[in-house]
Amino acid sequence: MPVFSEIRFDNLRGDLFGGVTAAIVALPMALAFGVASGAGPAAGLYGAVLIGLFAALFGATPTLISEPTGPMTVVMTAVIANLIAVNPEQGMAMAFTVVMLAGVFQIAFGALKLGRYVTMMPYTVISGFMTGIGVILIILQLGPFLGQATPSGGVLGTLQSIPELIGNIRPEETALAVLTLALIVFFPQRLRRFLPPQLIALLVGSLVSVWLLADADIRRIGEIPTGLPELQLPVFSLEEWKLMVIDAVVLAVLGSIDALLTSVVAENLTHKEYSPDKELFGQGVGNLASGLFGGIPGAGATMGTVVNIQTGGRSALSGLFRAFLLMIVVLWAGPLTAYIPLAVLAGIALKVGFDIIDWSFLKRAHRVSSKAALIMYSVIGLTVFVDLITAVALGVFVANVLTIDRMIKVQSQSIKAISDARGATQHLNRDEQVIFDRAQGRILVFALGGPLIFGLAKAISRRYAVLKDHEVLIIDFTDVPVLGVSSSLALEKMIMDDLDRGNPVFVVGAEGDVSKRLESMGIFGLLPTENVLATRQEALENACTLLGTCEKGQAPSP
Higher pLDDT, residue 228 or 221: 221
- The H or E element spanning position 443 is strand 443-449
What integer pLDDT is reported at residue 552 of this predicted model? 45
Cα–Cα distance for residue pair 380/126, rounded to 1 Å? 10
- The H or E element spanning position 30 is helix 12-37
Cα–Cα distance for residue pair 506/475, rounded to 1 Å? 6
Residue 540: pLDDT over 70 = yes
Please compute the mean of the pLDDT values over residues 165-180 and round it to a whole number.
Answer: 95
What integer pLDDT is reported at residue 466 of this predicted model? 59
- Torsion-angle region of residue 233: left (phi > 0), alpha (psi -120 to 50) or beta? beta
Q: Is 242 exposed, middle or buried (0-12, 13-18, 19+ CB in 10 A)?
A: exposed
- The H or E element spanning position 206 is helix 197-211
- Confirm if 444 and 504 have CB atoms less than 8 A apart: no
Cα–Cα distance for residue pair 69/134, rounded to 1 Å? 11
Residue 554 confidence class, pLDDT cut points 50, 70, 90: very low
In whole angstroms, how far apart are CA 506 and each of 170, 428, 444, 524, 535?
Answer: 83, 17, 10, 10, 10
Residue 553 confidence class, pLDDT cut points 50, 70, 90: very low
Beta bridge partners of 479: 449
Residue 169: pLDDT over 70 = yes
Higher pLDDT, residue 233 or 347: 347
| Structural domains of the chain, with CATH | 12-358 (no CATH), 416-546 (3.30.750.24)
Which of 92-106, 142-156, 227-241 shows the highest mean pLDDT? 92-106
Number of H helices, E strands in the chain: 24, 7
What integer pLDDT is reported at residue 556 of this predicted model? 46
What integer pLDDT is reported at residue 186 of this predicted model? 93
Please compute the mean of the pLDDT values over residues 239-267 and round it to a whole number.
Answer: 90
Residue 453: pLDDT over 80 = no
pLDDT tens-digit readout, 7-65: 778 888 889 989 998 998 899 999 999 999 999 999 999 999 999 999 999 998 999 99
Look up the pTM and report it.
Answer: 0.80
- Confirm if 549 and 438 have CB atoms less than 8 A apart: yes
By three-state DSSP, how is residue 276 classified? helix
- Confirm if 80 and 38 have CB atoms less than 8 A apart: yes
Residue 72 confidence class, pLDDT cut points 50, 70, 90: very high
- Confirm if 538 and 529 have CB atoms less than 8 A apart: no
Beta bridge partners of 417: 446
Please compute the mean of the pLDDT values over residues 152-171 and round it to a whole number.
Answer: 92
Please compute the mean of the pLDDT values over residues 217-224 and round it to a whole number.
Answer: 85
Residue 557 confidence class, pLDDT cut points 50, 70, 90: very low
- Confirm if 165 and 148 have CB atoms less than 8 A apart: yes
Please state whether beta strands 443-449 and 299-300 pair in parallel, antiparallel, or not at all (unpaired). Answer: unpaired
Please compute the mean of the pLDDT values over residues 228-252 and round it to a whole number.
Answer: 84
pLDDT tens-digit readout, 85-120: 888 888 999 999 999 999 999 999 999 999 888 767
pLDDT tens-digit readout, 455-477: 777 777 776 765 667 888 999 99
How many other CB atoms are found less than 10 A from the CB of residue 231? 8
3-class secondary structure for 499-520?
HHCCCCEEEECCCHHHHHHHHH
Please compute the mean of the pLDDT values over residues 374-397 and round it to a whole number.
Answer: 88
What integer pLDDT is reported at residue 558 of this predicted model? 43
Beta bridge partners of 475: 446, 507
- The H or E element spanning position 416 is strand 416-418
Residue 425 confidence class, pLDDT cut points 50, 70, 90: low
Mean pLDDT of the chain: 87
